Protein backbone atom coordinates (compact mmCIF):
# COMPACT_ATOMS: atom_id res chain seq x y z
CA UNK A 1 0.00 0.00 0.00
CA UNK A 2 1.32 3.46 -0.94
CA UNK A 3 1.97 6.09 1.70
CA UNK A 4 -1.06 8.16 0.65
CA UNK A 5 -3.37 5.13 0.77
CA UNK A 6 -1.93 4.17 4.17
CA UNK A 7 -2.78 7.68 5.40
CA UNK A 8 -6.34 7.35 4.10
CA UNK A 9 -6.68 3.99 5.86
CA UNK A 10 -5.56 5.60 9.13
CA UNK A 11 -7.97 8.53 8.74
CA UNK A 12 -10.98 6.32 7.94
CA UNK A 13 -10.13 3.85 10.74
CA UNK A 14 -9.83 6.65 13.32
CA UNK A 15 -13.09 8.24 12.13
CA UNK A 16 -14.94 4.93 12.55
CA UNK A 17 -13.39 4.34 16.00
CA UNK A 18 -14.29 7.86 17.19
CA UNK A 19 -17.86 7.37 15.93
CA UNK A 20 -18.20 4.11 17.89
CA UNK A 21 -16.83 5.77 21.05
CA UNK A 22 -19.23 8.71 20.72
CA UNK A 23 -22.17 6.34 20.19
CA UNK A 24 -21.14 4.34 23.25
CA UNK A 25 -20.81 7.55 25.28
CA UNK A 26 -24.27 8.71 24.16
CA UNK A 27 -25.83 5.40 25.25
CA UNK A 28 -24.21 5.69 28.69
CA UNK A 29 -25.35 9.30 29.19
CA UNK A 30 -28.92 8.68 28.04
CA UNK A 31 -29.46 5.38 29.84
CA UNK A 32 -27.44 5.10 33.08
CA UNK A 33 -28.01 1.63 34.52
CA UNK A 34 -26.29 -1.41 36.01
CA UNK A 35 -25.52 -3.83 33.17
CA UNK A 36 -26.21 -7.49 33.87
CA UNK A 37 -23.92 -10.42 33.16
CA UNK A 38 -25.47 -11.12 29.74
CA UNK A 39 -25.30 -7.49 28.59
CA UNK A 40 -21.70 -7.12 29.76
CA UNK A 41 -20.71 -10.39 28.06
CA UNK A 42 -22.28 -9.27 24.77
CA UNK A 43 -20.48 -5.93 24.85
CA UNK A 44 -17.12 -7.51 25.73
CA UNK A 45 -17.61 -10.00 22.90
CA UNK A 46 -18.62 -7.17 20.53
CA UNK A 47 -15.48 -5.15 21.18
CA UNK A 48 -13.24 -8.22 21.04
CA UNK A 49 -14.84 -9.18 17.72
CA UNK A 50 -14.39 -5.62 16.48
CA UNK A 51 -10.68 -5.78 17.33
CA UNK A 52 -10.32 -9.05 15.39
CA UNK A 53 -12.16 -7.54 12.39
CA UNK A 54 -9.77 -4.60 12.51
CA UNK A 55 -6.84 -7.03 12.63
CA UNK A 56 -8.26 -8.74 9.53
CA UNK A 57 -8.49 -5.39 7.71
CA UNK A 58 -4.88 -4.65 8.66
CA UNK A 59 -3.87 -8.04 7.24
CA UNK A 60 -5.66 -7.33 3.95
CA UNK A 61 -4.55 -3.73 3.46
CA UNK A 62 -1.23 -3.46 5.32
CA UNK A 63 0.04 -7.04 5.50
CA UNK A 64 0.43 -9.83 8.04
CA UNK A 65 3.20 -8.09 10.05
CA UNK A 66 1.04 -5.09 10.97
CA UNK A 67 -1.88 -7.39 11.82
CA UNK A 68 0.30 -9.57 14.05
CA UNK A 69 1.78 -6.52 15.78
CA UNK A 70 -1.71 -5.15 16.41
CA UNK A 71 -3.05 -8.41 17.90
CA UNK A 72 0.03 -8.82 20.12
CA UNK A 73 -0.20 -5.17 21.21
CA UNK A 74 -3.96 -5.37 21.77
CA UNK A 75 -3.65 -8.50 23.94
CA UNK A 76 -0.80 -6.94 25.92
CA UNK A 77 -2.74 -3.74 26.54
CA UNK A 78 -5.91 -5.71 27.31
CA UNK A 79 -4.14 -7.83 29.93
CA UNK A 80 -2.61 -4.71 31.47
CA UNK A 81 -6.04 -3.03 31.38
CA UNK A 82 -7.46 -5.89 33.45
CA UNK A 83 -4.98 -4.81 36.09
CA UNK A 84 -6.57 -1.34 35.95
CA UNK A 85 -9.83 -2.93 37.05
CA UNK A 86 -8.40 -3.80 40.47
CA UNK A 87 -7.71 -0.10 41.07
CA UNK A 88 -11.09 0.96 39.65
CA UNK A 89 -12.84 -1.44 42.04
CA UNK A 90 -10.95 0.10 44.96
CA UNK A 91 -11.86 3.64 43.83
CA UNK A 92 -15.53 2.85 43.32
CA UNK A 93 -15.71 1.15 46.71
CA UNK A 94 -13.90 3.88 48.64
CA UNK A 95 -15.93 6.70 47.09
CA UNK A 96 -19.17 4.66 47.32
CA UNK A 97 -20.09 5.60 43.75
CA UNK A 98 -23.76 4.71 43.11
CA UNK A 99 -23.92 1.57 40.98
CA UNK A 100 -26.05 3.19 38.26
CA UNK A 101 -23.47 5.98 37.80
CA UNK A 102 -20.42 3.72 37.61
CA UNK A 103 -20.78 3.29 33.83
CA UNK A 104 -20.53 7.06 33.34
CA UNK A 105 -17.48 7.29 35.58
CA UNK A 106 -15.77 4.45 33.73
CA UNK A 107 -16.61 5.91 30.32
CA UNK A 108 -15.11 9.28 31.23
CA UNK A 109 -12.12 7.40 32.68
CA UNK A 110 -11.64 5.55 29.38
CA UNK A 111 -11.75 8.78 27.37
CA UNK A 112 -9.26 10.43 29.73
CA UNK A 113 -7.01 7.37 29.42
CA UNK A 114 -7.12 7.55 25.62
CA UNK A 115 -6.21 11.25 25.61
CA UNK A 116 -3.36 10.76 28.07
CA UNK A 117 -2.04 7.66 26.32
CA UNK A 118 -2.23 9.45 22.98
CA UNK A 119 0.07 12.14 24.39
CA UNK A 120 2.45 9.51 25.80
CA UNK A 121 2.50 7.68 22.45
CA UNK A 122 3.46 10.84 20.56
CA UNK A 123 6.22 11.60 23.08
CA UNK A 124 7.45 7.99 23.04
CA UNK A 125 7.49 7.81 19.23
CA UNK A 126 9.46 11.06 19.05
CA UNK A 127 12.00 9.83 21.61
CA UNK A 128 12.46 6.49 19.83
CA UNK A 129 12.93 8.29 16.50
CA UNK A 130 15.73 10.43 17.94
CA UNK A 131 17.34 8.16 20.54
CA UNK A 132 17.62 4.40 19.99
CA UNK A 133 19.09 4.00 23.49
CA UNK A 134 15.68 4.88 24.98
CA UNK A 135 14.87 1.17 24.58
CA UNK A 136 17.38 0.41 27.36
CA UNK A 137 15.41 2.68 29.71
CA UNK A 138 12.04 1.29 28.63
CA UNK A 139 13.30 -2.27 29.01
CA UNK A 140 14.81 -1.71 32.46
CA UNK A 141 11.65 0.08 33.62
CA UNK A 142 9.45 -2.82 32.48
CA UNK A 143 11.72 -5.30 34.28
CA UNK A 144 11.31 -3.29 37.48
CA UNK A 145 7.55 -2.98 36.92
CA UNK A 146 7.31 -6.76 36.39
CA UNK A 147 8.98 -7.37 39.77
CA UNK A 148 6.67 -4.86 41.45
CA UNK A 149 3.64 -6.43 39.75
CA UNK A 150 4.53 -9.94 40.91
CA UNK A 151 5.22 -9.11 44.55
CA UNK A 152 2.84 -6.28 45.41
CA UNK A 153 -0.34 -6.97 47.37
CA UNK A 154 -3.84 -5.56 47.24
CA UNK A 155 -3.10 -3.84 50.57
CA UNK A 156 -0.33 -1.89 48.81
CA UNK A 157 -2.81 -0.72 46.16
CA UNK A 158 -5.35 0.28 48.78
CA UNK A 159 -2.75 2.19 50.79
CA UNK A 160 -1.60 4.07 47.68
CA UNK A 161 -5.16 4.95 46.69
CA UNK A 162 -5.98 6.01 50.26
CA UNK A 163 -3.09 8.51 50.25
CA UNK A 164 -4.14 9.77 46.84
CA UNK A 165 -7.73 10.32 47.96
CA UNK A 166 -6.59 12.13 51.13
CA UNK A 167 -4.46 14.55 49.10
CA UNK A 168 -7.32 15.25 46.70
CA UNK A 169 -9.81 15.92 49.48
CA UNK A 170 -7.40 18.37 51.14
CA UNK A 171 -7.28 20.47 47.98
CA UNK A 172 -10.91 20.29 46.87
CA UNK A 173 -13.96 21.09 49.01
CA UNK A 174 -16.60 18.49 48.16
CA UNK A 175 -20.05 17.59 49.41
CA UNK A 176 -20.61 14.41 51.38
CA UNK A 177 -23.10 12.91 48.93
CA UNK A 178 -23.33 12.40 45.18
CA UNK A 179 -25.91 14.30 43.13
CA UNK A 180 -26.42 11.85 40.27
CA UNK A 181 -23.60 12.30 37.78
CA UNK A 182 -23.21 16.03 38.46
CA UNK A 183 -19.76 17.42 39.20
CA UNK A 184 -21.15 20.49 41.03
CA UNK A 185 -24.19 20.84 43.25
CA UNK A 186 -25.75 23.28 45.71
CA UNK A 187 -25.48 22.66 49.46
CA UNK A 188 -26.98 25.21 51.89
CA UNK A 189 -27.23 27.75 49.09
CA UNK A 190 -23.57 27.40 48.07
CA UNK A 191 -22.12 25.76 44.97
CA UNK A 192 -19.71 22.97 45.86
CA UNK A 193 -18.09 20.07 44.06
CA UNK A 194 -19.50 16.57 44.44
CA UNK A 195 -17.38 13.46 45.09
CA UNK A 196 -17.78 12.75 41.33
CA UNK A 197 -15.04 15.29 40.56
CA UNK A 198 -12.63 13.64 42.98
CA UNK A 199 -13.40 10.22 41.52
CA UNK A 200 -12.70 11.43 37.97
CA UNK A 201 -9.44 13.13 39.01
CA UNK A 202 -8.35 9.99 40.88
CA UNK A 203 -9.08 7.84 37.82
CA UNK A 204 -7.19 10.27 35.56
CA UNK A 205 -4.13 10.12 37.84
CA UNK A 206 -4.20 6.33 37.96
CA UNK A 207 -4.54 6.30 34.15
CA UNK A 208 -1.29 8.27 33.94
CA UNK A 209 0.40 5.79 36.28
CA UNK A 210 -0.74 2.85 34.16
CA UNK A 211 0.31 4.60 30.94
CA UNK A 212 3.90 4.55 32.20
CA UNK A 213 3.67 0.74 32.13
CA UNK A 214 1.55 0.12 29.07
CA UNK A 215 3.12 2.47 26.54
CA UNK A 216 6.72 1.20 26.90
CA UNK A 217 5.31 -2.35 26.83
CA UNK A 218 3.60 -1.96 23.47
CA UNK A 219 6.57 -0.10 22.00
CA UNK A 220 8.42 -3.34 22.62
CA UNK A 221 6.09 -4.96 20.08
CA UNK A 222 5.78 -2.21 17.47
CA UNK A 223 7.03 1.35 17.00
CA UNK A 224 4.23 2.30 14.59
CA UNK A 225 2.25 5.04 16.45
CA UNK A 226 -0.95 4.13 14.58
CA UNK A 227 -0.78 0.47 15.64
CA UNK A 228 0.20 1.49 19.17
CA UNK A 229 -2.75 3.88 19.55
CA UNK A 230 -5.38 1.63 17.95
CA UNK A 231 -4.27 -1.30 20.13
CA UNK A 232 -4.79 0.93 23.18
CA UNK A 233 -8.17 2.11 21.89
CA UNK A 234 -9.53 -1.40 21.34
CA UNK A 235 -8.16 -2.58 24.70
CA UNK A 236 -9.79 0.29 26.59
CA UNK A 237 -13.08 0.22 24.63
CA UNK A 238 -14.00 -3.09 26.24
CA UNK A 239 -12.67 -2.17 29.67
CA UNK A 240 -15.91 -0.60 30.96
CA UNK A 241 -17.98 -3.70 30.20
CA UNK A 242 -15.22 -5.97 31.49
CA UNK A 243 -15.45 -4.13 34.83
CA UNK A 244 -19.05 -5.27 35.31
CA UNK A 245 -18.36 -8.74 33.88
CA UNK A 246 -15.35 -9.49 36.09
CA UNK A 247 -16.04 -7.11 38.99
CA UNK A 248 -17.00 -9.92 41.35
CA UNK A 249 -14.42 -12.34 39.99
CA UNK A 250 -11.24 -10.25 40.18
CA UNK A 251 -10.32 -11.61 43.60
CA UNK A 252 -10.50 -15.15 42.16
CA UNK A 253 -7.95 -14.41 39.42
CA UNK A 254 -5.11 -14.74 41.93
CA UNK A 255 -2.46 -15.79 39.42
CA UNK A 256 -3.30 -13.25 36.74
CA UNK A 257 -0.84 -10.75 38.16
CA UNK A 258 1.98 -13.24 37.64
CA UNK A 259 0.98 -13.69 33.99
CA UNK A 260 0.99 -9.91 33.54
CA UNK A 261 4.36 -9.68 35.33
CA UNK A 262 5.80 -12.32 33.00
CA UNK A 263 4.54 -10.41 29.93
CA UNK A 264 6.12 -7.18 31.20
CA UNK A 265 9.42 -8.94 31.94
CA UNK A 266 9.43 -10.65 28.52
CA UNK A 267 8.79 -7.39 26.66
CA UNK A 268 11.40 -5.64 28.82
CA UNK A 269 13.92 -8.31 27.79
CA UNK A 270 12.86 -7.90 24.14
CA UNK A 271 13.37 -4.12 24.35
CA UNK A 272 16.84 -4.48 25.81
CA UNK A 273 17.71 -7.10 23.20
CA UNK A 274 16.52 -4.75 20.45
CA UNK A 275 18.57 -1.92 21.97
CA UNK A 276 21.67 -4.14 21.86
CA UNK A 277 21.05 -4.80 18.16
CA UNK A 278 20.81 -1.06 17.50
CA UNK A 279 23.44 -0.10 20.09
CA UNK A 280 25.11 3.28 19.64
CA UNK A 281 26.26 3.89 23.23
CA UNK A 282 30.08 4.19 23.30
CA UNK A 283 30.47 2.46 26.70
CA UNK A 284 28.67 -0.69 25.47
CA UNK A 285 30.71 -2.81 23.05
CA UNK A 286 32.56 0.34 21.95
CA UNK A 287 29.41 1.73 20.38
CA UNK A 288 29.01 -1.21 17.98
CA UNK A 289 25.91 -3.31 17.35
CA UNK A 290 25.67 -6.61 19.24
CA UNK A 291 24.42 -9.15 16.72
CA UNK A 292 24.32 -12.14 19.07
CA UNK A 293 21.44 -10.68 21.09
CA UNK A 294 18.23 -12.61 20.24
CA UNK A 295 15.90 -10.94 17.74
CA UNK A 296 12.36 -11.82 18.88
CA UNK A 297 9.73 -11.62 16.14
CA UNK A 298 6.19 -10.25 16.52
CA UNK A 299 4.78 -13.74 15.96
CA UNK A 300 6.92 -15.17 18.78
CA UNK A 301 5.81 -12.29 21.03
CA UNK A 302 2.16 -13.01 20.25
CA UNK A 303 2.58 -16.71 21.14
CA UNK A 304 4.33 -15.90 24.43
CA UNK A 305 1.66 -13.34 25.39
CA UNK A 306 -1.19 -15.76 24.61
CA UNK A 307 0.45 -18.55 26.62
CA UNK A 308 1.10 -16.26 29.62
CA UNK A 309 -2.52 -15.10 29.70
CA UNK A 310 -3.94 -18.60 29.18
CA UNK A 311 -1.73 -20.32 31.79
CA UNK A 312 -2.34 -17.67 34.48
CA UNK A 313 -6.11 -17.69 33.82
CA UNK A 314 -6.31 -21.51 33.89
CA UNK A 315 -4.19 -21.70 37.05
CA UNK A 316 -6.46 -19.12 38.72
CA UNK A 317 -9.59 -21.02 37.69
CA UNK A 318 -8.18 -24.34 38.91
CA UNK A 319 -7.13 -22.79 42.23
CA UNK A 320 -10.58 -21.22 42.74
CA UNK A 321 -12.34 -24.53 42.02
CA UNK A 322 -9.99 -26.42 44.33
CA UNK A 323 -10.57 -23.92 47.13
CA UNK A 324 -14.34 -24.14 46.63
CA UNK A 325 -14.35 -27.94 46.70
CA UNK A 326 -12.18 -28.08 49.83
CA UNK A 327 -14.48 -25.68 51.68
CA UNK A 328 -17.51 -27.98 51.23
pLDDT of 8 strictly over 90: no
| pLDDT greater at residue 309 or residue 157 | 309
Does residue 214 have a pLDDT over 90?
Answer: no
Q: How far apart are the first and last CA of the chain?
A: 61
pLDDT-derived band at 68, boundaries 50, 70, 90: very high
Residue length, the chain? 328
Residue 252 vs residues 66, 85, 104, 246: alpha-carbon distances, Å: 35, 13, 26, 10
Burial of 20 (0-12, 13-18, 19+ CB in 10 A): middle
Mean pLDDT (whole number) for 191-219: 76
Contact 227, 66 (CB under 8 A): yes
The pLDDT tens digits for 125-183 are 888 777 777 878 888 888 887 887 777 655 555 555 556 566 666 666 777 777 777 77
Q: What is the pLDDT of residues 175-201, one digit of tens each?
A: 777 777 777 888 777 787 787 877 777
What rounded mean pLDDT belongs to the chain?
77
CB 279 within 8 A of CB 287: yes
Q: Is the pLDDT of residue 70 over 90?
A: yes
- Nearest in space to 211 (alpha carbons), one of 119, 273, 319, 283: 119
Contact 102, 92 (CB under 8 A): yes
C-alpha 146/C-alpha 225 separation (Å) is: 24
Percentage with pLDDT > 70 across the chain: 81
| Domain region containing 37 | 3-327
Q: Please tell me the total count of domains within the chain.
A: 1
Q: 216 or 245: which carries more pLDDT confidence?
A: 216
pLDDT tens digits, one per residue of 78-125: 877 776 666 676 677 777 777 777 777 777 777 877 888 888 888 888
pLDDT of residue 17: 84
Kindly report the pTM of this predicted structure.
0.73
DSSP state of 174: B
**Are the C-beta atoms of residues 91 and 213 closer than 8 Å to each other?**
no
pLDDT at 103: 75
What is the predicted pLDDT for the residue at 156?
Answer: 54
DSSP code of residue 287: G
Q: What pLDDT sits at residue 317?
A: 81
Amino acid sequence: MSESNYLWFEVIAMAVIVTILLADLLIVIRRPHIPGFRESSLWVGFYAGLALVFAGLLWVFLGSLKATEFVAGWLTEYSLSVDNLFVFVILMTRFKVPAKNQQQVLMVGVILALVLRGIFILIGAALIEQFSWIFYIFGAFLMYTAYHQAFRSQDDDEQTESKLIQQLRKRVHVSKDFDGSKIRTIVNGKKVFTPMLVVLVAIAITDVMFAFDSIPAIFGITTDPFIVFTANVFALMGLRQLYFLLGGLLDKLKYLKYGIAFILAFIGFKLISHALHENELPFINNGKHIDWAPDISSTASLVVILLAIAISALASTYSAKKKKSSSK
